[in-house]
Amino acid sequence: MPNPIQDITRVDATSFPYIYEENVTIPLKDNAGLIRCNVYRPKDVENSPVLVTYGPYGKDIHYKDFHSKSYSEVNPEHHSDHSAWETPDPGFWTQHGYAVVRADERGLGQSPGVLDTMSRGTSEAFVDVVEWAAEQPWSSGKVGLLGISYYAGSQWRVAARQPKGLACIIPWEGMSDYYRDRCRHGGILSNKFIKFWWDRQVITNQYGRPGRAARNWGPDTIEGDLSEEELLANRNDQTIDNATHKFRDEPYYASKEYNMEDIKVPLLSVANWGGILLHLRGNVIGYMNAGSEHKYLRFITGRHDLPFYYHEEVELQRSFLDAFLKGEDREGWSTGQAPKVDVLLRKGNVGFDNAEAERAYTRRTENEWPIARTQYTKFFLTPDLQLQTQSPQSKLVKVDYRALGTLESPQLVQFSTPAFEQETEITGHIVAHLNVSVSPDKGGPLPSDIDLFLTLRYISPTGEEVYYTGTAGDPVPLAKGWLRVSMRKVNEKHLRHREYLPHRDYFSTDVLPVMPGEVYPVDVEIWPSNVVVEKGGKIVLEVSSGDTQGSGIFQHNDPNDRSPEKLQGTNHIHFGPAYENYVTLPTILRHRPIAPEGNDGGPEQEPEDLEVLAVQISNIRPLQRFVTTHDDNGQAIFSNRLSEDMPVQNVDQVTFSLAYTSEQFPSQLSGDADIASYERRLSSPPGLSISTGTVCRIVDMPPNTISPMHRTVSLDYGVVLEGEVELLLDSGEKRLLKRGDVAVQRATNHAWRNVTPNEGWSRMLYVLTPCQPVEVKNKGVLGEDLNGMGVKSSE
C-alpha cells in the first residue's frame, strides 16, 4: 500500500558554507501530489535568484558515488559536499549569490508518485517547481535553468509552458525532440542507450526501492520501501513504451510534444559537436525554432560530462545568468550585442577524449544559423565508389550491400572524395539523396522495409581517419543520419521544412510501402557537423544497413524493430540516367584578399575571391554590407548586430546575396526592429519578393547561364554592377544591359542571360517592391510563376 506522507524536511544552517534545506516539500497544483527538493542558499543574502534542476538521478546521490571517475576529473572549483551528476554545484553557485533548488522528479528519490520520465505530467510538475521557487521569501522572484543532458532536455519543455518567474535557460547538451533526437532516429528505434540509461540511472533511484543506501546510491526512501509489485505499478517503463509505440501521432509520443515557438525567455543553447547520436541535433533545432528574442547558440567539444564545469565555460554561464537574473550584463546578452552563434572549428587530428589537446580548436562568431554564406554543395556518388562535384554519366548499375548489419558485423559501402586541393570548411546541416531498393534472399523472407544508416567520416592528409570525442569519451566520426524507408514521406509544406533539413512528421498515416525490386528516391537527414578539411584530406560517405563504428552505446539493435522478417535481403543503391545520388555538404564561402588591379582594369594575377572546395566560384570580388543605426544620443553609428560580410545563398550555381529586407511600409526602425526581422530572414530566406516589404538582393551568375523564365508580383529595379546581361521577355523581345544600366521590371514574365565576354561572371543589384497583381484583358490576373527556379514561393 502507498506510504503515508510525512514531513521529512531538515534544515542545516551551520555545517556548510551555505544554508542547506533537505527534503523540502513542494505541493503540486491540481492535487497532482508533491515533489521533494533540496535548497542551497547563500548565507547573509536576503533574496537570491534561483537555479533549478528537476530530474531522475537523485538529488541526494553524490557525484563521486554516481560516477567516481568523472568526478575525479571535474574542475575542483565544483567539488563540494553536495555535488551531483550533471547539475550546477551548490558550493560554487551560492558563493556567487545564487540559491540552488535541486528536485527529485516525481516517483524518484524522495518524491512519491508514478515514475514517468519526460512525460507531459512530469513536465507540468516541473512548471510548479519553478513557480514555487520564484515565490519563496528567500527568492528574488527570478529563476534560471542550468544543467546537462536530462537536466537540459527538460528545460525546453518547461520553458514552452512559460512558468511564472522563469527568466532564462541554459540547455547544455540537451535534446529538444523526444522522438527524433532520442527514441527513433529516422523512425528506427534507438534502444541500446535507453535500456542502459533506464537500468543504471533511473529505476535504481525509484521512490520506495529497497537497498539504495546499502549500494551507496543515496539514502533509502525515508517514508519506507515499496514491494516489487508496487514499484512495477508505479512506473511507466521507457524501454517498453518506446518499443511499443512507433509514431509521433500515437498518444505516447504526442503527449510529449510542445511548440518550440512558445519558448520566449532568453536562452543559451550549448551543442557538442561530438554528441552525434543524442543531444546535438536538439540543441541546434531548439535554437532555430525557439521564439526567444534573445537566443544564442554555442558549440563545444569534449566528453559529455566535463566541459560544463570548465572554468571558461562556467564563466560564460555566469555571465549569461547574471545578465538576466541579476541585471548585471557584462557581454551584451540582454541587448543582443553578444554574438548570436559561436562556432568551434575542428581542424586537425588532435585525438579524442583529450581536453587539453582540443584547446587547439579555434572559435569564430556568426550572426545567424545556418551561416548565411553557406554554399550547399552536392557531391555525387558514383558506381566506382567516388564522391565528385559533377553528376556522373552512368549506365544502369547497382551497388549492393547486405541488410541487417550490426556493430559487430557491419554491412556497408563507402564513397570517397578525391583529396581536397585546398583547405575547406564544412559547417551546418547535411542531407543525402539516394535511390534505393531491396532484393530478397533465395528462400528467405520477403523484405518489407529498408533501414539506412549513414555516416560521414573525415580522412586526414596522412590517410588516417580522424576520430572526435564522443559523448562517453569514445571515438566518433563527423556525423550520422538514419532513415527507415517506409517513413520516407517528407512534408514539404511544413513551415520548418528546408532543402537542407527535410521535415518528416513520422505519423502513422505517413507509412509507405516498400516492395522488393522497386526503386525509392529518399532524402536522409544527417545531423549537423563541422570540420575544416585540410589540403589533401578526404570526406567519406558511408551507407550501411546497421550501426557502424562510432555508435557506441547508442545502438539500434532491437530484434523486433529490426527483424529478419522485415529487413533481411540485399540492399541496393541505383545509378543511371534517371538516378542521381548525392550528399549535400554545407561548405562555407571564404573571403580572400583581392589582388591589386593592373593597367587593363583586371587583376595582375588571377585571385580566388570566393572559394568552395577546389572550384573557383567567381572572378568578381566578395561583397560587404554596412548597416547604420543610432546610439542612445541619436548619433549615427554602424550597427554591430550583423556581420559586414554579405550573406550568400547558392541556388543552382547562381549566388544570391540577401543584402537586406523590410517587412512593412513605412519601415519600423526604432529599437532596430527592422534589423531583427532581417536577422530572422537570414536563417529562413524569403522567396524572391515579400508582399508587405522590400528585398535588396545581389545576384552573381556564372558564365553563359540563363535563368528560368519567371514572374513575381513586384515592381523591381535592377542595376548591372558587373558584366553584361540580356533581359529576355516572354514575348521574345530582349535588351542588352551593360554595367550601370537599369531595368525596371513591372511584374512581367522574364529571364536573365549572362552574356559577359571572355567567360566572365555577371553581377546585378535588385530592389524588389510589392505591387498589386497585374490584370490584363485576355489573361486576367497574372500571378507569380517561378518555373522551377529552385527558390520558395514569395510570401
Q: pLDDT tens digits for 520-540?
A: 999 999 999 999 999 999 999
Sign of the four-CA dihedral 74, 77, 79, 85: negative
Strand 615-618's sheet: what is its strand order?
A: 590-591, 610-612, 615-618
SS3 content of the chain, % helix, strand, coil (to 5): 20, 35, 50
Residue 593 has pLDDT above 50, yes or no: no
- Single-letter amino acid code for the residue at 59: K
Comparing C-alpha atoms, which of 560, 646, 578, 583 is closest to residue 455?
Answer: 583
Comparing C-alpha atoms, which of 350, 358, 353, 338 is closest to residue 298?
Answer: 338
Strand 267-272's sheet: what is its strand order?
A: 10-12, 18-27, 34-42, 99-104, 48-55, 139-148, 166-172, 267-272, 295-300, 341-345, 362-366
pLDDT score recorded for residue 601? 36
How far apart, in whole angstroms, are the C-alpha atoms of residue 526 and residue 432? Answer: 7
pLDDT score recorded for residue 608? 36
- Cell output for 343: 562556432
When pLDDT is cut at 50, 70 and 90, the band that residue 108 belongs to is very high
Question: How many residues are recorded in the chain?
Answer: 795
Beta partners for 410? Answer: none
Write phi, then psi, for 666 (nearest 5 degrees): -70, 160
In which element (H, E) is residue 629 found? strand 628-630
Residue 604 has pLDDT above 50, yes or no: no
- Cell output for 520: 525509392
pLDDT score recorded for residue 173? 98
pLDDT digits (tens, 9 = 90+) for 129-144: 999 999 999 999 999 9
Q: Is 120 left (phi over 0), alpha (psi -120 to 50) or beta?
A: alpha
DSSP class per residue in 35-95: EEEEEEEETT-SSEEEEEEEESS-TTS-HHHH-HHHHHHS-GGG--TT--TTS--HHHHHH
Domain covering 628-782, topology: Jelly Rolls (2.60.120)
Comparing C-alpha atoms, which of 179, 185, 280, 180 is closest to residue 546?
Answer: 185
Write phi, then psi, for 158 (nearest 5 degrees): -75, -35
CATH class of 10-338: alpha beta
How far apart, in whole angstroms, are the C-alpha atoms of residue 301 and residue 361? Answer: 9
Contact 500, 429 (CB under 8 A): yes
pLDDT score recorded for residue 688? 85
Contact 51, 145 (CB under 8 A): yes
Mean pLDDT of the chain: 92
Residue 677 has pLDDT above 80, yes or no: yes
- Residue 642, classified by CB atoms within 10 Å of its CB into exposed (0-12), middle (13-18) or buried (19+), is buried
When pLDDT is cut at 50, 70 and 90, the band that residue 732 belongs to is confident
Residue 346 has pLDDT above 60, yes or no: yes
Q: What is the mean pLDDT of residues 477-498?
A: 97
Highest-pLDDT range among 519-523, 594-598, 601-605: 519-523
For a pLDDT cut of 70, what percent of the chain falls above it? 95
Write phi, then psi, for 156 (nearest 5 degrees): -60, -45
Q: What is the mean pLDDT of residues 107-112?
A: 98
Cα separations (Å) of 290 from 253, 297, 680, 684, 795? 20, 11, 12, 14, 21
Comparing C-alpha atoms, which of 394, 406, 404, 405 is closest to residue 435?
Answer: 394
Return the higher-pLDDT residue of 532 and 790.
532
When pLDDT is cut at 50, 70 and 90, the band that residue 610 belongs to is very low
Strands (DSSP E) contained in 576-619 are 582-588, 590-591, 610-612, 615-618
pLDDT digits (tens, 9 = 90+) for 417-449: 999 999 999 999 999 999 999 999 999 999 999
pLDDT score recorded for residue 632? 87
Contact 659, 697 (CB under 8 A): yes
Sorted by sequence, the CB contacts under 8 Å of residue 312 that are 6+ apart come out as: none
Residue with cell 514569395: 794
How far apart, in whole angstroms, are the C-alpha atoms of residue 3 and residue 207? Answer: 10
Contact 686, 795 (CB under 8 A): yes
Contact 572, 398 (CB under 8 A): yes
pLDDT score recorded for residue 681? 83
Residue 655 has pLDDT above 90, yes or no: no
Q: What is the mean pLDDT of residues 14-26?
A: 98
Comparing C-alpha atoms, which of 38, 226, 237, 30 is closest to residue 119?
Answer: 237
Point out the least confidently predicted range of 309-313, 703-707, 739-743, 789-793: 789-793
SS3 543: strand
Q: Is CATH 2.40.170.20 the right assignment for the domain spanning 374-588?
A: no
Comparing C-alpha atoms, which of 96, 101, 108 is closest to residue 50?
Answer: 101
DSSP class per residue in 700-742: EE-TT-BPPPBB-SEEEEEEEEES-EEEEETTS-EEEE-TT-E
Enter the pTM of the model.
0.78
Q: What is the mean pLDDT of residues 19-23?
A: 98
Return the higher-pLDDT residue of 237 and 600.
237
Residue 703 has pLDDT above 50, yes or no: yes
SS3 795: coil
Residue 592 has pLDDT above 60, yes or no: no
Point out the least confidently predicted range of 510-524, 566-580, 752-766: 752-766
Is 374-588's fold the same as 628-782's?
yes
Comparing C-alpha atoms, which of 264, 267, 265 is closest to residue 282?
Answer: 267
Residue 241 has pLDDT above 60, yes or no: yes
Other CB atoms within 10 Å distance of the CB of residue 619: 18
Contact 330, 323 (CB under 8 A): yes
Q: What is the mean pLDDT of residues 482-509?
A: 97
pLDDT score recorded for residue 597? 33
Domain boundaries, the chain: 10-338, 374-588, 628-782
Residue with cell 518524491: 111
pLDDT digits (tens, 9 = 90+) for 179-227: 999 999 999 999 999 999 999 999 999 999 999 999 999 999 999 999 9
Q: Is 198 left (phi over 0), alpha (psi -120 to 50) or beta?
A: alpha
Comparing C-alpha atoms, which of 326, 421, 376, 774 is closest to residue 615?
Answer: 421
- Single-letter amino acid code for the residue at 164: K
Residue 591 has pLDDT above 90, yes or no: no
Helix (H), strand (E) counts: the chain: 13, 42
Cis amide bond preceding 27, omega within 30: no
How far apart, in whole angstroms, are the C-alpha atoms of residue 254 and residue 180? Answer: 12
Comparing C-alpha atoms, which of 590, 611, 593, 588 is closest to residue 603?
Answer: 593
For a pLDDT cut of 90, what percent of the chain falls above it? 81
pLDDT score recorded for residue 607? 32
pLDDT score recorded for residue 612? 38
Q: What is the mean pLDDT of residues 355-375?
A: 92
When pLDDT is cut at 50, 70 and 90, the band that residue 790 belongs to is low
- Single-letter amino acid code for the residue at 551: S
SS3 334: coil
Strands (DSSP E) contained in 485-567 are 520-533, 538-544
How far apart, in whole angstroms, are the C-alpha atoms of residue 177 and residue 173? Answer: 13
Q: What is the mean pLDDT of residues 359-388?
A: 94
Q: What's the N-to-C CA distance of the chain in angstroms?
A: 61
Chain Cα centroid distance, residue 578: 32
Other CB atoms within 10 Å distance of the CB of residue 442: 5
When pLDDT is cut at 50, 70 and 90, the band that residue 602 belongs to is very low
Residue 147 has pLDDT above 80, yes or no: yes
- Cell output for 780: 486576367
Write phi, then psi, for 483 (nearest 5 degrees): -160, 130
Beta partners for 524? Answer: 432
SS3 196: helix
The 10 Å CB-count burial string (b at 16+, else e) for 303-329 is bbbbbbbbeebbebbbbbbbbbbbeeb
Residue 589 has pLDDT above 80, yes or no: no
- Cell output for 17: 558554507
pLDDT digits (tens, 9 = 90+) for 64-99: 999 999 999 999 999 999 999 999 999 999 999 999
Comparing C-alpha atoms, which of 110, 90, 87, 472 is closest to residue 274?
Answer: 472
Return the higher-pLDDT residue of 655 and 124.
124
How far apart, in whole angstroms, are the C-alpha atoms of residue 548 and residue 171? Answer: 29
SS3 203: helix
